[in-house]
């Protein structure tokens, strides 16, 4: 039964998912900011809320896109082009605004949020994360086995896999940043380089999506 929901290109999907997850985007930067300000516990709680929001987002995208992608190939190509271009835009903005983002990450306030607020804040960052929206809407559908059917189920399954990987990766970022709080907070240039690296990765992935769109069309 599980095989029905697992696309044939699952290995390639895992590689793409890991690449986009490890690139420091809005969610990772938010987690690092929490870790730098309030330590590892708050950062892990933030990650838990974040991936919950991401799964809600991926499920909504799957329910909306699944039937459309299964029926119209032109929609599949349009989603690829739109997503690829938007990823490139996000990458450029991340590089341009890296100094501003770095300053924001070290200015979270003196009072640590409660457990409930940490999870809630993480949830909203996850569900409104533009990088995740683009990934679920444009990158993820490339790995669907259209001929195998059950497209919506495949999308939901891959969204769940993404969220599990994101919890492991983002949680690791949080634990690492929480451990190295003083080192990160004393030099904004380190955080700027981190954001610039994430922007570069998003641009590369966006170009890869556009290339795939050209080939498939």
pLDDT tens for 167-182 read 999 899 888 877 776 5
Domain of residue 46, residue span: 2-216
User: How many angstroms separate the Cα of 128 from the Cα of each of 27, 53, 87, 107, 139?
Assistant: 10, 8, 15, 21, 17
Say what the pLDDT of residue 181 is.
65
Please state the φ and ψ torsions of residue 95, each to the nearest 5 degrees: -70, -45
The span from the CA of 178 to the CA of 40, in Å, is 5
Q: What is the pTM of this model?
A: 0.69
The span from the CA of 211 to the CA of 46, in Å, is 35
Domain count within the chain: 1
Return mean pLDDT, the chain.
Answer: 76
Asked which of 41-45, 69-73, 117-121, 142-146 is least confident by mean pLDDT, the reply is 69-73
Say what the pLDDT of residue 1 is.
46
- Do 162 and 135 touch, CB atoms closer than 8 A? yes
Q: In sequence order, which ranges of the chain are alpha helices (DSSP H)?
A: 2-5, 10-22, 26-38, 40-71, 73-96, 98-105, 115-127, 130-134, 151-179, 181-185, 188-216
The span from the CA of 193 to the CA of 189, in Å, is 6
The span from the CA of 171 to the CA of 59, in Å, is 22
pLDDT at residue 183 greater than cutoff 70 = no
Residues 141-162: tens digit of each pLDDT: 778 877 666 778 888 889 999 9
Residue reference for tokens 């809407």: 137
177, two tokens = 């940043």
pLDDT at residue 217 greater than cutoff 90 = no
């Amino acid at each position: 039964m599980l095989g029905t929901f697992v696309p044939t290109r699952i290995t390639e999907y895992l590689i793409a998912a890991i690449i986009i997850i490890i690139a420091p985007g809005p969610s990772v930067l938010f987690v690092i900011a929490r870790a730098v300000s309030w330590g590892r516990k708050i950062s892990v709680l933030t990650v838990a809320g974040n991936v919950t929001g991401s799964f809600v987002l991926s499920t909504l995208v799957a329910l909306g896109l699944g039937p459309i992608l299964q029926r119209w190939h032109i929609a599949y190509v349009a989603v690829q082009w739109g997503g690829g271009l938007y990823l490139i835009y996000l990458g450029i903005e991340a590089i341009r605004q890296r100094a501003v983002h770095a300053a924001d990450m070290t200015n979270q306030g003196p009072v640590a949020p409660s457990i409930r607020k940490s999870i809630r804040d993480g949830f909203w960052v996850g569900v409104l994360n533009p990088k995740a929206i683009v990934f679920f809407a444009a990158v993820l559908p490339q790995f669907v086995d259209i001929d195998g059917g059950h497209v919506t189920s495949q999308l939901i399954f891959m969204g769940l896999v993404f969220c599990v990987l994101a919890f492991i990766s983002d949680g690791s970022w949080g634990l690492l940043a929480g451990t190295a709080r003083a080192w990160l907070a004393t030099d904004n240039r380190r955080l700027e380089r981190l954001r610039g690296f994430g922007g570069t990765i998003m641009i590369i992935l966006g170009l890869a999506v556009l290339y795939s769109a050209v080939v498939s069309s």
